[in-house]
A and B are shown apart, each in its own frame.
Chain A
Amino acid sequence: MSTIFTLSILQSALELGCIYALIAIALYISFTLLNIADLSTDGCFTLGCAVGAMVTMAGHPVLALFMAMGAGVCSGFITAFLQTKMGVQSILAGIIVNTGLYTVNLAVMGFSSNINLFHCDTLFSLAKQVSENKIYRDWYELGIAALIVLAVCLILGWFLNTSSGLSIRATGDNAHMVKASSINPGRMITAGLCISGSLTALSGAILGQYQKSCDINFGTGQVTIALASLIIGNTLVRRGGMLKRVSGVVLGSCLYRFIVAIALRLNLPAEAVKLVSAVIVAAAISFPCLKEKAGFTKKKMEMRKKAAVRT
């Protein structure tokens, strides 16, 4: 077993878990809170990665994060605009934006499908220079990712309890009531999707700097992976305040990365990652249902036994 669980696996699972947790949090807002299946995630993630990479190449790795978030807001706004003002079904709006973003992303990357950041400063290379300490050198990447996620969690934990945050949550929970409480549901959907888009893009920008590259296909399948993390997180943390719920999603994301790392460790080829993801998602989603069925079957058997004893 010791060959399967090494410290470096744990470490990289946590790093990736934190970075990708931002998409899972984004889906928590759009999918769980707003009850909208926003499928623009894949394109939006690559958009954040591309914008972040270009700004990083220009020499501004920190500004890159904010620019990427700005781009994500635009993407979220267009998705929201299509469904609130143009009468496009929410699931279609996401697909349309996702498709369109492919070209936009290529354009951002100067019509090349791959760019690398090996020779420019990134958030991580800048942080690396701070200290020569061995422990610091081992853990600074996780530190940065964790700090950003922590900040996002705290801000969201605060925001989702403000008047606007409550309105966004209520919009997905009971649209009927929202209209009767003088809240403009269209505006709340727009705000929610903009936040969600900005977090997805932020995740992309951080991943680009972390891997020192950006590829037009980075985003493919991210929505499935994020959904898996989200569902694992929701299974882990079933109740509690907003901060606790959002933290649960981060936990789910780390756990998911850990499962994938172990799966790959079992000599699965790297190409199998997507299939493994799909299986994990299906398993995570069906788990509560299977558990209930198993419980029912058990109860049925017991009652039959009792009846048999009586007769």
Chain B
Amino acid sequence: MLSIKNISKTFHAGTVNEKTALRNVSLEMKSGDFATIVGSNGAGKSTLFHAVTGAFYVDGGQIILDGEDITFKKEHLRSRDIGHLFQDPLLGTAPHMTIEENMALAYMRVSGKHSPFGRVTKKDKTLFREKLALLDMGLEERMKNPVGLLSGGQRQALTLLMATVVTPKILLLDEHTAALDPATAEKVMKLTKDIIAERGITCLMVTHNMHQALETGNRTLMMNDGRIILDITGKERESMTVDTLLEKFREQAGTRLDNDRILLSGR
């Protein structure tokens, strides 16, 4: 589904702030793969996502999504096929517009029935209500409320819904539950897993919870200093514990895993 071939990216090249964020990263994601990514601060996890969404163009290499070379495709054109959730729940929704309008925006743009003067129909509204009811947060009764009134967890759940209202070819989750309180985080995480499992969405998820990294999905990647240094699936992954994972990391990277938010226990 997603094929990343030898991409590199250096920011501020030629200045004192020069920072190589990606070094010849290659990654092959099969359709339906659900991979978690862990790594130190500044390892290039978010940069990798931004390379895929097109926030910048890579310096070298190739990105292929579902057979199409998107290396130099513009960001807003790529986003039709890519769902992207951030850690900050405020980034994914328009605060002064109502829940219904936010849903409509996500839906009309991506569903292919997009015409410049299209309006939300009764049928669409019923669909939105059904989808919102699945969140079990009572949002279906607040369709006319501005999104700015919702809590962070509610906004993130809504963003997740909007990103998947039409099934994306790939879903990128960048620590999307990290800014939520534990109970809400768990709820949003469960929703995420349900939606992904139900529709077999190909997904990459950055997490700093090591247990989550091993338990969620079918594959775990580790990044360090702009490289993917570990890629485990199947039996090897099943037998992996947090301790052996950290040991593996030290072997590969030559340093300890350094992430000020890393969670070694708890779930």
- Give the interface size bracket for A toward B: 20 to 34
| Residue in B76, B84, B95, B104 whose CB lies within 8 Å of A183 | B76
> B residues within 8 Å of A by Cβ?
53, 74-80, 84, 90-97, 101-102, 104-106, 108-110, 114-120, 162-163
Q: In the complex, what residues of A have CB within 8 A of residue B115's CB?
A: 163
Bound: A236/B78 CA distance, A: 41
Q: Known pairs A164-B116, A179-B76, A181-B79. 4 more at Cβ < 8 A? A: A163-B105, A163-B118, A166-B108, A177-B92
- The 9 A-B residue pairs whose C-beta atoms are closest, nearest first, are A173-B94, A182-B80, A182-B79, A163-B118, A174-B94, A170-B94, A162-B117, A164-B116, A163-B108
Bound: A169/B95 CA distance, A: 11
Q: Distance in Å from the Cβ of B115 to the closest Cβ of chain A?
A: 7
Q: In the complex, what residues of B have CB within 8 A of residue A180's CB?
A: 53, 79, 84, 92, 163
Contact indicator per residue, chain A 181-220, by CB within 8 Å of chain B (1) or not (0): 1111100000000000000000000000000000000000
| 30 A-B residue pairs with CB within 8 Å | A159-B117, A161-B101, A162-B116, A162-B117, A163-B109, A163-B115, A163-B118, A164-B117, A166-B101, A166-B108, A170-B94, A173-B94, A173-B96, A174-B91, A174-B95, A176-B91, A177-B91, A177-B94, A178-B76, A179-B76, A179-B79, A180-B79, A181-B79, A181-B105, A181-B106, A182-B76, A182-B78, A182-B110, A183-B105, A183-B109
Q: In the complex, what residues of A have CB within 8 A of residue B101's CB?
A: 161, 166, 169
Q: Which residue of A lies closest to B90 (CB)?
A: A174
Q: Distance in Å from the Cβ of A290 to the closest Cβ of chain B?
A: 24
Q: In the complex, what residues of B have CB within 8 A of residue A183's CB?
A: 76, 105, 109
If the complex has contacts A162-B119, A176-B91, A181-B79, are A169 and B110 also in contact, measured as CB distance less than 8 A?
A: no
Q: In the complex, what residues of A have CB within 8 A of residue B118's CB?
A: 162-163
If the complex has contacts A163-B118, A164-B117, A166-B104, are A182 and B109 also in contact, measured as CB distance less than 8 A?
A: yes
Bound: A66/B46 CA distance, A: 50
Decide if A167 is an interface residue (CB 8 Å cutoff).
yes
Contact B116 A181 (CB under 8 A): no
Q: Which of A83-100 contact B (CB under 8 A)?
A: none
Contact A185 B76 (CB under 8 A): yes
Q: In the complex, what residues of B have CB within 8 A of residue A184's CB?
A: 74, 76
Q: Which residue of B lies closest to A174 (CB)?
A: B94
Bound: A201/B97 CA distance, A: 28
Bound: A179/B105 CA distance, A: 12
Bound: A183/B75 CA distance, A: 9
If the complex has contacts A174-B95, A176-B91, A177-B91, are A163 and B76 also in contact, measured as CB distance less than 8 A?
A: no
Contact A163 B119 (CB under 8 A): yes
If the complex has contacts A162-B119, A163-B119, A164-B116, are A182 and B77 also in contact, measured as CB distance less than 8 A?
A: yes
If the complex has contacts A182-B77, A183-B109, are A169 and B94 also in contact, measured as CB distance less than 8 A?
A: yes
